[in-house]
Amino acid sequence: MKTSKLYYVLLSFMIFAINDVKAQNQIGIFDNNSDIGDCRLKGFSEYSAENQTYKIGGSGTNMWFGKDDFQYLWTTVQGDFILRAEVKFLGKGVDPHRKVGWIVKNNLDANSKHVNATTHGDGLTTLQYREEVGGETREEISTDTFPDVIQLERIGNNYIMSTARFGEEFTSVELKDMELDNSVYIGIYSCSHNPEVMETAEYRNVRIIRPVDPDYTPYRDYLGSNLEIMDVSSGHREIIYRSAHSIQAPNWTPDGTKLIYNSKGHLYNYEISFNTISPLNTGFAVNNNNDHVLTFDGTLLGISNHNPDDGRTSALYYLPAKGDSLPKMVTKTGVGASYLHGWSPDNKKMVFTGNRNGAYDIYAVDIDSGKEHQLTNQTTLDDGPEYSPDGEFIFFNSTRTGKMKLWRMKADGEDQKQLTFDEYNDWFPHISPDKKWIAFISFPKDIDPADHPFYKHCLLRIMPYEGGTPKVVAYIYGGQGSINVPSWSPDSKKIAFVTNTKL
């Protein structure tokens, strides 16, 4: 039977129409919005693609007892997840019990079983839940008040609400053995707690994260990646690129036009203004790890490539940043693994973590002669060295006092001084070009201090260049590869980094 040309034309039109409807209904990363229950005033949900923020207006009598009324911006998901957003009420409000947050529901009925991570207009913060259809709502009350960061995580039948005022650590409340469907609705909302009033809230840095499977194998099983740029002063973040591959360690070029990142052993240029991606030619070096660093003037690119002639041991090389000639080897074959982290401001030396004589210490190496100079000598791990922009100091991280903490020493290795002291494990200090801030990643308190694994709840923090109390600038799901290399914008206002999720 011969199919007519008209059939294909009609089929194409139907597919286009279906996709067009889906595109019209989708609001940012969410599928649709709905008024749940008997909302007297019709709610709304809006998305600003320019700054990746959401505005939600909702009325409704309450979200309590056996039924709920609210405006819901939702999508659907299966299995475990991490939901995170920063939220603020717009306007003074009418009722102190107005609510915003994340809610997980079996369906869109007003009396559905649910778990609700919420904060109220009066600051009350609770993890609410309905165990049976139409049943009474119950709650676990947090000690936190007036948070603007709300995170809700599902691990099987357990739910963890973590909240914070932006810049501070999380306070968590856990609900165990709460059975919802594997396939659920998830989303953000607004409820006025007054049927005659519309209350509006703004959500930013909204993330729906699909975490790694518990039995994954590191360095074999990878999640997808978000390449993000953050304004440091406000904490506002923008996802500029999503990849199903593992991409890692973005460098910001000194001219501000590009990010350089690695994926599957290769390096790539991301043109920020045009959102275009192109390979960076590193010649034979196609087994690069995420330790690649530009010189301060941006003319040279140092890389750590696994040398096939030395049992795939990581060695240091450099080449023009444009990638138009073959890399030159710096560290010698047979001396042990070397992982690059910094250049001296005069482009004459690299500073790196080297496995020499059974220990990982920090070394400087002359790029012309290959002569190495040992700067630290510890039985514990020293890592992540980076020169200050004036070349006076080298900043690094070390486990010598128990936890992985930030340290500073003079460029010749003298006067080694600890900079951070709390219970987190701090890695990869990066100095802002204006020499005002140190940015770094903090891994959870309960991991092996000598490990910097993938796929953990981490914090990006900054502290003054001269030392002081760190403050949180981003709550992320990531870790290894998120911010291993210098990633400040040249004006010291932004940082580039990678977060992870199943895509």
Per-residue pLDDT of 332-381, as tens digits, reads: 999 999 999 999 999 999 999 999 999 999 999 999 999 999 999 999 99
Lowest mean pLDDT among 103-112, 119-128, 317-326, 426-435: 317-326
Query: Are 192 and 232 members of one domain?
Result: no
Rounded to an integer, the average pLDDT of 248-270 is 98
Residue 1 pLDDT > 90: no
Residue 173 pLDDT > 60: yes
What tens digit of pLDDT does each residue of 430-446 get? Answer: 999 999 999 999 999 99
Q: Give 24's pLDDT tier (boundaries 50, 70, 90).
A: low
Residue 128 pLDDT > 80: yes
Query: Are 50 and 153 members of one domain?
Result: yes
**18 is a domain residue:** no
Separation of alpha carbons 64 and 450, rounded Å: 47
Query: Are 38 and 186 members of one domain?
Result: yes
Residues spanned by the domain of 420: 224-501
**475 is a domain residue:** yes
Query: Are 276 and 201 members of one domain?
Result: no
Q: What is the DSSP string of 413-452?
A: S-S-EE---SSSEEEEEEE-TTSSEEEEEEE-TTS-TT--
Amino acid at 242: R
Query: Are 194 and 239 members of one domain?
Result: no
Separation of alpha carbons 60 and 38, rounded Å: 7
When divided into structural domains, the chain yields a total of 2
Spatial CA neighbour of 338 closest among 315, 370, 363, 309: 315
Strand order in the sheet with 328-329: 293-294, 300-307, 313-320, 328-329
Tell me what pLDDT residue 324 has: 82
What tens digit of pLDDT does each residue of 81-121 get? Answer: 999 999 999 999 999 999 999 999 999 999 999 999 999 99
**15 is a domain residue:** no
Integer Rg of the chain from CA: 25
Query: Are 146 and 281 members of one domain?
Result: no
- State percent of the chain over pLDDT 90: 94
Residue 219 pLDDT > 90: yes
What tens digit of pLDDT does each residue of 54-81 get? Answer: 999 999 999 999 999 999 999 999 999 9
Query: Are 403 and 314 members of one domain?
Result: yes
Residue 317 pLDDT > 70: yes
Residue 18 pLDDT > 60: no
Separation of alpha carbons 138 and 128, rounded Å: 6
CATH code for position 140: 2.60.120.200
**What is the value of pTM for the model shown?**
0.94
For 236-370, strand residue ranges (E) read 237-243, 248-252, 258-263, 266-271, 276-280, 293-294, 300-307, 313-320, 328-329, 338-343, 349-356, 359-366
Q: How many residues does the chain have?
A: 503
Burial class (CB in 10 A: 0-12, 13-18, 19+), 123: exposed
Rounded to an integer, the average pLDDT of 307-331 is 96
Q: Give 25's pLDDT tier (boundaries 50, 70, 90).
A: confident
Query: Are 288 and 431 members of one domain?
Result: yes
Instruction: Decide the pairing of beta strands 349-356 and 359-366.
Output: antiparallel
